Structure 1
Amino acid sequence: MKYQTWILEKLIEKFESRKKSSGNMRKVAFQMQDESALSQELEHAEEKEQFLAALDLLKQKGLIDYSWVRFEKDNIVERVWLVLDEEKVRESYRVLARIPKGDIICVLRESLINSINQMKPLDNEIQSFFKKQLEQMEQSSSIPRFFTDKIEPNEDLIRCLVYLSQNNQEVQERVLSSLLYNDSKYFERKVKGKVLSVLKAINKGKGEELSDEELLREKGVVKWPEILEFTGRLAVLFKQGELMDFSVLTYGAYINSLMVEMVDKVCLYRIKKVIFIENKANYVWYITQEKKEEELVVYHGGCYSPIKGRWFKKICEACIQDGEQIKFYHWSDIDVGGFRIFSRLKTEIVSSLIPFRMDIETLEKNRDKGMPMNEHYRMLLVEMINDCRYEEFKFLIERMIELNIRLEQEQLLY
Structure 2
Amino acid sequence: MARFETRILNTLLDSYEKSSLFRGDNKVAVHISFRFTKSSLPEYFDESSLSYESIHAWAHEMEEKGWLEIAWKSGKEGHIIERLILDAQKVPEIYQYLRRKPLSRLICEQLEIIRSARETCRTPVAECFLAWLEERLLKNRPVKEFIDLACPEDTERLLQAVTAIEENEKESYQREFSIREFADSKALEKIEGKLGKVFRTFSEEFKGMETEDILAEYGIYHTPNYIYLKGEGVVDFGNDENARLKLSAVRQGIGISGEDLSDIRISGTERTKKVITIENLTTFFRWEEKDALIIYLGGYHNRVRRTLLEKIYREMPEIQYLHFGDIDVGGFEIYKDLCRKTGISFLPYHMGLEELSMYREFSRPLTENDKRRLKRLMEQAESDGAPYLETLQLMMEWGIKLEQECIR
Q: Does 1:157 align with 2:158?
A: yes
How has the CA–CA distance of structure 1 residues 162 and 327 changed in structure 2, closer, same or farther, with 3 Å as cutoff? same
**Aligned counterparts, 1:13-412, within 5 A:** 18=16, 21=19, 22-23=21-22, 100-112=102-114, 118-121=121-124, 124=125, 128=128, 130-149=130-149, 150-167=151-168, 169-188=170-189, 190-196=190-196, 198=198, 213-214=212-213, 216-218=215-217, 220-231=219-230, 232-238=232-238, 241=239, 244-248=243-247, 249-251=249-251, 252-260=253-261, 263-264=262-263, 266-270=265-269, 271-287=272-288, 290-292=289-291, 295-320=292-317, 325-387=318-380, 388=383, 391-412=386-407
Per-residue CA distance 1:233-282 (angstroms, 9 max, x = gap) = 232454xx55642325432012112223xx14524143432111111122
Cα distance in 2 for partners of 1:148, 1:138 equals: 16
How much is the aligned-residue C-alpha RMSD, in angstroms? 4.7
CA distance in 2, matches of 1:340, 1:120: 25
The 1:6/1:409 distance shift into structure 2, 3 A limit, reads same
User: Is the contact between residue 105 and residue 142 of structure 1 (CA under 8 Å) also seen in structure 2?
Assistant: no
> Relative to 1, partners in 2 of residues 1:407 and 1:168: Cα closer, same or farther, differing over 3 Å?
farther
Supply the distance in 2 between the matched residues of 1:99 and 1:158 (Cα, whole angstroms): 23
Aligned to 2:60: none
Shift of 1:169: 4.9
Q: Percent identity?
A: 23
Q: Distance in 1 between matches of 2:10 and 2:147?
A: 20
Distance 1:92 1:175 in 2: 46
Distance in structure 2 (CA, Å) of the matches to 1:250 and 1:65: 83
Post-superposition Cα deviations, 1:44-79, rounded to whole Å, max 9, x if no partner, equal 9xxx9xxxxxxxxxxxxxxx9999xxxxxxxxxxxx
Q: Which runs of 5+ in 2 are unaligned?
A: 25-31, 35-39, 55-64, 69-85
CA distance in 1, matches of 2:207, 2:179: 34
Does the residue aligned with 2:350 lie in a helix, a strand or coil? coil
Give the whole-Å Cα distance in 2 for the aligned partners of 1:328 and 1:172.
Answer: 31
The letter of the residue matching 1:245 is R
TM-superposed CA distance for 1:375, in Å, is 4.2
The answer to whether the Cα contact below 8 Å between 1:277 and 1:299 also exists between their aligned partners in 2 is yes
TM-superposed CA distance for 1:346, in Å, is 0.3
Measure the CA separation in 1 of the matches of 2:329 and 2:91.
58
1:401 CA drift (Å): 2.0
Segments of 5+ residues of structure 1 without an aligned counterpart are 49-63, 68-79
Secondary structure at the aligned position of 2:388 is classed as helix
Cα separation, partners in 2 of 1:406 and 1:85, compared to 1, 3 Å: closer
TM-score (norm 1): 0.68
Kindly provide the CA deviation profile for residues 158-187 of structure 1, in whole angstroms up to 9, marking residues without a partner as x: 221223344465321221211221222333
Asked if the contact 2:193–2:211 (Cα under 8 Å) also holds between the matched residues in 1, the reply is: no
Specify the SS of the correspondent of 2:265: strand
- C-alpha spacing 1:396/1:185, structure 2 compared with 1 (3 Å): closer
Q: Is the 8 A contact 2:364 2:401 kept in 1?
A: yes
- The structure with higher relative contact order (CA 8 Å, sep 6+) is 1
Secondary structure at the aligned position of 2:145 is classed as coil
Q: Contact 2:276/2:294 (CA < 8 Å) preserved in 1?
A: yes
1:316-368 residue CA offsets vs partner (Å, 9 max, x unmatched): 33335xxxx12211111111011101011100013311111122233233333
In 1, Cα distance between the equivalents of 2:89 and 2:105?
20
